[in-house]
């Protein structure tokens, strides 16, 4: 299992056992990743939240991650959170079995994995582009995104 950070209290806004992926809502690559998860997470094991959303900001604050300069994906479940390549592997583990062979990449040293992850993350806008504003989910995908209870 990838290394996780542990907090003393459970993550806010999440039900026990619920997993949320925090992603950069203006990044075209990150939005493509969110659409990929919606398409391939047939069992709906993963919820999504843009880091720019109130929900994303609350979860970033809970994990003591930066609120305004976010260069990594984060995955949060219960009292645990993962970032960078460990977050990627945690998400892949939630997908159908056909995607699980990608988990074998975690046997590369974490310094090498995170170095490669950081090269893409730090250059994602230049390589893939950026939206002017955070995109809203399609109405048929809205239930996949974490929302503050009304």
Mean pLDDT confidence for 92-119: 94
| Residue 136 binned pLDDT confidence (cut-offs 50, 70, 90) | confident
Q: How high is the pLDDT of residue 10? A: 94
Q: Is 52 inside any structural domain?
A: yes
Q: How far apart are CA 117 and CA 114, in angstroms?
A: 5
Which domain covers residue 87, as residue numbers? 5-129
Q: Is residue 137 part of a domain?
A: no
Give the model's pLDDT for residue 2.
58
For residue 138, being part of any structural domain is answered with: no
Residue 136 falls inside a structural domain: no
In a domain, 109, yes or no: yes
pLDDT classification of 27: cutoffs 50, 70, 90: very high
pLDDT of residue 137: 73
User: Does residue 130 contact residue 27 with C-beta atoms inside 8 Å?
Assistant: yes
Question: In this structure, how many other beta carbons lie within 10 angstroms of the beta carbon of residue 127?
Answer: 11
3 pLDDT higher than 80: no
- pTM as predicted: 0.91
Surface-to-core class of residue 130, CB atoms within 10 Å of its CB (0-12 exposed, 13-18 middle, 19+ buried): middle
How many domains would you assign to the chain?
1
Q: What is the mean pLDDT of residues 98-125?
A: 94
**Mean per-residue pLDDT for 115-133?**
94
DSSP 11-63: PTT--TT-EEEEE-TTBHHHHHHHHHHHHH-TT--EEEEETTSHHHHHHHHHT
């Amino acid at each position: 299992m990838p290394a996780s950070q542990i907090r003393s209290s459970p993550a806010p806004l999440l039900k026990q056992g619920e997993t949320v992926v925090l992603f950069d809502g203006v990044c075209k690559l990150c939005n493509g990743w969110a659409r990929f998860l919606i398409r391939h997470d047939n069992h709906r094991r993963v919820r999504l939240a843009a880091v720019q959303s109130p929900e994303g900001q609350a979860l970033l604050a809970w994990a003591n991650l930066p609120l305004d300069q976010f260069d990594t994906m984060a995955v949060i479940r219960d009292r645990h959170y993962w970032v960078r390549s460990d977050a990627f592997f945690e998400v892949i583990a939630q997908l159908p079995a056909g995607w699980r062979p990608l988990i074998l990449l975690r046997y590369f040293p974490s310094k090498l994995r995170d170095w490669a992850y950081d090269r893409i993350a730090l250059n994602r806008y230049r390589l893939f582009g950026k939206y002017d504003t955070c995109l809203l989910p399609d109405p048929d995908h809205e239930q996949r995104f974490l929302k503050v209870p009304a």
